[in-house]
Amino acid sequence: MGYGLIQPGIATDAGKDLLLQMGNLDTSAYDSKEVISAYDKLEQLVKNDWTPANALSLTHTEAQMEWLLGKAFIIPCGNWLEGEMAEDIPEGFEMAFMPSFWHDSTNTSTYVGSSPRISIAANTKNPEAAKAFLQVLFSKNVTQAVAECQMGIPCMRDDLEGVELTASNQDILKQVSEGSVQIINEVGGSGNFEPYAELRTATTNAISSILGGQKTSEEALEGIKQEADRIAADDGIAKITIS
C-alpha cells in the first residue's frame, strides 16, 4: 500500500524531493499538503468501505489470489504479480499496469523504483574480482535472463527485445517508453526512500492502523513523525543520507 499507492502519489504531486526529506528524517515533510492528502485518501478509502474487511490478515499472495478471484478491482502491487501467480490466473483473466492515480496534480504519473544496493568492501582481498562479478551480474545478457526467468522487469534499463515478457510487463514497458509514467529511484539507502528499518516499521504500522480503522490519517502521520524524531535524536543510530 505504501509503495504501491502512497509513495507514487506523493512523488507525482511533489516530486522526488519530498520523499527524500522523509527518508532523511525531516519531519516537516509530513506536514506538507501532498503527504497529508495521500494519507487522507487512504482513510477515505476505508470509510467508503472500498477495502476488504480481511485485508490485514492476508499474506501478499493471498491478497493477489483474492484479486484474481474478482474480489477487488485494483491491487497495489509490483510487476512480479503475473509471473508469481502464473499457475493461478483464471482463464480469460486479463491484467494491466495502472500508473499512480493517488495524486491531485496533472503531473506525469510516477513509479517509485526499488532495488537492493550491492557494494564492494574497501578492504576486500580481491576487489577486481568483485568488480568483474558485478559487471557480469549487471550485463545485458544476465538482465535479459533474469527478466525472462522471473517474468518481471529488472531495475536496469537494458534492451529487452526478444525477451518473453508477461502481458502486464509489456504494458509497463510501453508506458515508460511512451513517457506516460516516469521512474524515480533513490541512492544511498534501501532503495525505497526509507533507509531506517524502524521508520519503515512505523510507516507500515501507521498504514495498517488506518486500514484497520484504529487511527485517523492525522493520528497515523503523527506517529510516524514521532518515530522519525526519535531516530534523529538517537546518537546510537548511524545516520544515512539518501539523494
Whether 45 contacts 21, CB under 8 Å: no
Q: Residue 40's pLDDT is what?
A: 96
Q: Where are the domains of the chain?
A: 2-127+163-233
Tell me the average pLDDT across 107-115.
81
- Please state, as a whole number, how many other Cβ atoms lie within 10 Å of the Cβ of residue 113: 14
Model confidence band, residue 176 (pLDDT cutoffs 50, 70, 90):
confident
pLDDT exceeds cutoff 80 at 164: yes
Q: Is the pLDDT of residue 158 over 60?
A: no
Residue with cell 529487452: 160
- Overall average pLDDT of the 77-99 stretch: 90
Distance CA 69, CA 189 (A): 37
- Is 157 a residue whose pLDDT tops 70? no
Which CATH class, in words, describes the domain spanning 2-127+163-233?
Answer: alpha beta
Between CA 34 and CA 25 the distance in angstroms is 17
pLDDT averaged over every residue in the chain: 88
Question: Strands 109-112 and 181-184: what pairing?
Answer: parallel
pLDDT of residue 188: 59
One DSSP character per residue, 53-71 reads TTGGG--HHHHHHHHHTTS
Question: Is pLDDT above 60 for 86?
Answer: yes
**What is d(CA 111, CA 181) in angstroms, rounded to the nearest whole number?**
7
Residue 74 contacts residue 5 (beta carbons within 8 Å): no
The predicted structure's pLDDT at residue 187: 65
Task: Render pLDDT for 9-50 as a digit per residue (tens, 0 to 9).
Answer: 899 999 899 999 999 999 999 999 999 999 999 999 999 999
Residue 243 has pLDDT above 90, yes or no: no
pLDDT of 165 > 80? The answer is yes
| pLDDT number for residue 3 | 72
